[in-house]
Amino acid sequence: MPLSPYASLKIPDFRKLLLSHGTLTLAREAQIVVVGWQMFELTRDPLTLGLIGLAEALPFIAIALYAGHVADRAERRTLAVAGTFALVLSAIALLLLTTIPGVIHAQRIWPVYVVVALSATARSFMRPAVFALSAAIVPRELYPNSVAWRTSSWHLAAVAGPAAGGMLYGFSGPTLAYAVVVVVMAFSLAAIASVSHRAKPTPRDEPLGESLRSGIRFVWREPVLLAAMTLDLFAVLFGGAVALLPAFAKLLDAGPEGLGMLRAAPAAGSILIGMWIAHRPPMKRAGSALLACVAAFGVCMIGFALSRELWLSFALLFASGVFDNVSVVIRSTLLQTRTPEELLGRVSAVNQIFIGSSNEIGAFESGLAARLLGVVPSVIFGGCMTLLVVAVTAWRAPALRKLREI
């Protein structure tokens, strides 16, 4: 008998986790838009946008393996609550930096980088804990269904968050925008604190160094999982244009409201495909679908760089979100179904390093490339590199290319 598309939503703790995950994403995506626009308004330098990504990437990646080790030993709900609480404090810090006169200006924006780095540290501990907690709450046969709902809720919030951040900034300025972010993050904290699951993992007794290496060793011995992670790493590292959206919004004369629309577009596309995946049986040719969608993502980025119409730019980013979410669902499902429960935190941390490298360091790469090549040529170059990465992966990873049902 086929499972209901809503099977995982019938689990109360999963619904609470989903609510916390969604509202935190809503607030964080709004905050990213506000920080990006505020810093670009102050400096008018695209490298500033890249440095924001770097400030987030370095602590996020540096602590990831240890955070995964902790997630496989500590009570995961407590770790998730603590991480969310730290993000609330970071949002309050950004609000105070904005409201206190003279603290930040064009020649003094380092306090913002510090807050961004501290929030990245909190996320580094929180993400593997939440991922492992979700796997503990949901039965194994519902993993693909729960992943589809989790990614859809993330992208739903990622549509509303940037739009809300852009609108609030455009009409009321950064102070009100940051205040709303604080309130929504506090709601997310209350939701994760209401999760009743308290079970601790039962890890093997092994030294810290061996524990940290075990997650890397497991991924290295899983060729399909390693290939999927590597494909995502390099495709997004080169192909992403999200960090440069404030510059493109200026180029399109769209203002902060237009920036919010552009930032929300990929997530809107992801919601559409995520809901479709949740209502469909497992993919029959997952490997070829993954490769085709990443290639289509690269083509969308090239088209976006060349577009000079807001509606066309929005449509191309929307399409890029459709293709990107297929990759997310396949990779996340592989991660949950192929990883033993006692290794979920550490393997999730390895995946987190790949994601952090592609997203946050990709943001720095985008800002640096834009400084050296120009905003438009840098995105065209990145899209072409994404197509090259897909071709090399298809050639060098036959196991991924031949992957069938997941």
> Does a structural domain hold residue 112?
yes
> Does a structural domain hold residue 406?
no
For residue 77, pLDDT over 80 is answered with yes
> Does a structural domain hold residue 279?
yes
> Does a structural domain hold residue 1?
no
CA dist 80 and 363 (Å) reads: 26
> Does a structural domain hold residue 132?
yes
> Does a structural domain hold residue 100?
yes
Q: Which two tokens stand for residue 250?
A: 């200026």
For residue 173, pLDDT over 50 is answered with yes
Mean pLDDT of 96-101: 90
DSSP for residue 2: P
Mean pLDDT of 283-297: 84
Mean pLDDT of 88-106: 89
> Does a structural domain hold residue 246?
yes
Q: Which residue has the higher pLDDT, 189 or 146?
A: 189
Write down the pLDDT at residue 27. Answer: 93
> Does a structural domain hold residue 2?
no
Q: Could you tell me if 236 and 405 are in contact, meaning their C-beta atoms sit under 8 angstroms apart?
A: no
For residue 209, pLDDT over 60 is answered with yes
Write down the pLDDT at residue 285. Answer: 78
Write down the pLDDT at residue 362. Answer: 67
| Residue 48 pLDDT level (bands cut at 50, 70, 90) | confident
Q: Which long-range contacts (CB under 8 A, 24 or more apart) does 134-140 make?
A: 134/14, 134/17, 135/336, 135/341, 135/344, 136/76, 136/197, 136/199, 136/341, 137/11, 137/13, 137/14, 137/17, 137/195, 137/197, 138/8, 138/11, 138/14, 140/337
Tell me what the pLDDT averaged over the chain comes to: 82
CA dist 97 and 111 (Å) reads: 8
Q: Could you tell me if 106 and 43 are in contact, meaning their C-beta atoms sit under 8 angstroms apart?
A: yes
- How many beta carbons lie within 10 A of that of residue 379, not counting itself? 27
| Residue 57 pLDDT level (bands cut at 50, 70, 90) | confident
Closest CA to 20 of 112, 175, 117, 137: 137
For residue 1, pLDDT over 50 is answered with no
Residue type, 12: P
pLDDT tens for 322-368 read 888 888 778 777 877 778 777 777 787 777 777 655 666 666 677 77
Q: Which domain holds residue 342?
A: 8-401
Write down the pLDDT at residue 190. Answer: 95
Write down the pLDDT at residue 378. Answer: 87
Q: How many domains does the chain have?
A: 1
| Domain harbouring 289, CATH code | 1.20.1250.20
Phi-psi bin for 199: left (phi > 0), alpha (psi -120 to 50), beta?
A: beta
Mean pLDDT of 85-111: 89
Write down the pLDDT at residue 316. Answer: 94
Helical segments of 339-401, H only: 344-356, 362-373, 375-396, 398-401
